[in-house]
């Protein structure tokens, strides 16, 4: 519980800092056109952290209205709304969130209560714990949830939601647009770096590689992958990330079994990361720490 409070304080501080920074500079959200009826509003402009507006957002224009996958940070609300309207002046009719985090759900409340909100059932439970969805804002909690798989719409407008297990959180949805051969991964595949493992929201570094392996085995016919926070990629990049998270886990497990410190394990994991082309290692130590904490928690529970 203490840990959860501490994490909340850090997130809050980060949010305030980001709000101030955002007010000082003009907000710009870039977009990438993937198809006539599907755009990605990017997480940030590569190389410019001041433009971090939250996760990548999918904007899918259907006959009935606009479907959004994720909604960025609340502090970017006006810019985000205008950006969505610049793509289509149809109403937003559905919002799918890949997971609970505030940089993916921050503007769920900006499009009215007639929007249909859809998330994994565990993400709904995680959202209900957030201040952003308490009191009056509880009206914006999703009413439609799924456990393993859910198909929305049909034909060219079909959207398939999948859940393969714990990883970044315990409610990470993969969102597939079969007619476009496009998939959004949320933060289960956010970047080419150590994964963020949000244990208070059910994340698991031990389950992470298995979850990705199930996704890679099940998901076919995808040409374009939209990661949580990186430029567009391919399915081969998801397959590589699965291998990377498996090797990261094994490196941490082996180091821990040998009685080595988190620092030593992180050094080994950073050295291992260098084998993967184009990977950063800024987040590797935090990933290793989370895996150690998880293994310790399991050991304590089994004692």
| For Zn ion, the closer CB: 195 or 209 | 195
Q: Using CB under 5 A, which of the segments 41-49, 133-141, 158-166, 181-189 binds Zn ion?
A: 181-189
Quick check: 75 and 15 in contact, CB under 8 A?
Answer: yes
| For Zn ion, the closer CB: 187 or 294 | 187
State the minimum distance, in angstroms, from the CB of residue 184 to Zn ion.
Answer: 13
Q: Using CB under 5 A, which of the segments 40-48, 96-104, 111-119, 218-226 binds Zn ion?
A: 96-104
State the minimum distance, in angstroms, from the CB of residue 230 to Zn ion.
Answer: 13
State the minimum distance, in angstroms, from the CB of residue 142 to Zn ion.
Answer: 17
Site for Zn ion in 97-116 (CB under 5 A): 101
| For Zn ion, the closer CB: 10 or 26 | 10
State the minimum distance, in angstroms, from the CB of residue 34 to Zn ion.
Answer: 22
| For Zn ion, the closer CB: 187 or 240 | 187
Instruction: Report the 3 state secondary structure along the chain.
Output: CHHHHHHHHHHHHHHHHHHHHHHHCCCCCCEEEEECCEEEECCCECCEHHHCCCCCEEEEECCCCEEEECCCCHHHHHHHHHHHHHHCCCCEEEEECCCCCHHHHCCHHHCCCCCEEEEEHHHHHHHHCCHHHCHHHHHHCCCEEECCEEEECCHHHCEEEECCCCCCCCCCCEEEECCCCEEEEEHHHCCCCCCCCCHHHCCCCCCHHHHHHHHHHHCCCCCEEEECCCCCECHHHHHHHHHHHHHHHHHHHHHHHCCCCHHHHHHHHHHHHCCCCCCCCCCHHHHHHHHHHHHHHHHHHHC
State the pairing for strand pair 116-120/144-146. parallel
State the minimum distance, in angstroms, from the CB of residue 227 to Zn ion.
Answer: 11
Residue in 170, 172, 187, 294 binding Zn ion, rule: CB under 5 A: 187
Told to check if 166 binds Zn ion by CB under 5 A, we report no
Supply angle C-alpha 69, 72, 75, rounded to 5: 155
State the minimum distance, in angstroms, from the CB of residue 101 to Zn ion.
Answer: 4
Distance CA 173, CA 162 (A): 6
| For Zn ion, the closer CB: 57 or 180 | 57
- The count of residues interacting with Zn ion (CB under 5 A) is 2
| For Zn ion, the closer CB: 194 or 256 | 194
| For Zn ion, the closer CB: 100 or 242 | 100
State the minimum distance, in angstroms, from the CB of residue 105 to Zn ion.
Answer: 10
Site for Zn ion in 248-287 (CB under 5 A): none
| For Zn ion, the closer CB: 101 or 256 | 101
State the minimum distance, in angstroms, from the CB of residue 130 to Zn ion.
Answer: 13
Please report, as ranges, the residues that interact with Zn ion according to CB under 5 A.
101, 187
């Amino acid at each position: 519980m203490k840990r959860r409070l501490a994490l909340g304080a850090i997130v809050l501080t980060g949010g305030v800092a980001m709000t101030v920074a955002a007010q000082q500079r003009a907000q710009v959200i870039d977009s990438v056109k993937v198809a006539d009826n599907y755009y990605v509003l990017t997480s940030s402009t590569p190389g410019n952290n001041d433009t971090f507006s939250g996760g990548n957002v999918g904007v899918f224009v259907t006959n009935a209205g606009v479907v959004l996958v994720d909604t960025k940070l609340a502090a970017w609300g006006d810019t985000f709304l205008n950006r969505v309207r610049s793509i289509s002046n149809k109403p937003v009719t559905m919002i799918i969130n890949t997971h609970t985090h505030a940089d993916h759900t921050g503007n769920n409340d900006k499009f009215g209560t007639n929007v249909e909100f859809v998330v994994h059932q565990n993400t709904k439970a995680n959202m209900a714990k957030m201040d952003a969805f308490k009191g009056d804002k509880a009206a914006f909690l999703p009413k439609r949830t799924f456990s393993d798989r859910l198909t929305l719409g049909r034909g060219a407008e079909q959207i398939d939601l999948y859940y393969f297990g714990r990883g970044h959180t315990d409610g990470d949805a993969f969102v597939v647009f079969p007619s476009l051969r496009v998939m959004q991964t949320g933060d289960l595949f956010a970047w080419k770096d150590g994964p963020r493992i949000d244990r208070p929201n059910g994340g698991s570094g031990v389950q992470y590689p298995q979850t990705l392996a199930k996704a890679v085995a099940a998901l076919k016919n995808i040409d374009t992958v939209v990661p949580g926070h990186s430029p567009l990629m391919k399915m081969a990049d998801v397959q590589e990330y699965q291998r990377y998270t498996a090797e990261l886990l094994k490196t941490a497990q082996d180091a821990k079994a040998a009685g080595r410190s988190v620092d030593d394990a992180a050094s080994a994991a950073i050295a291992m990361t260098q084998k993967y082309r184009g990977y950063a290692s800024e987040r590797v130590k935090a990933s290793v720490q989370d895996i150690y904490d998880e293994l310790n928690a399991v050991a304590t529970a089994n004692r």
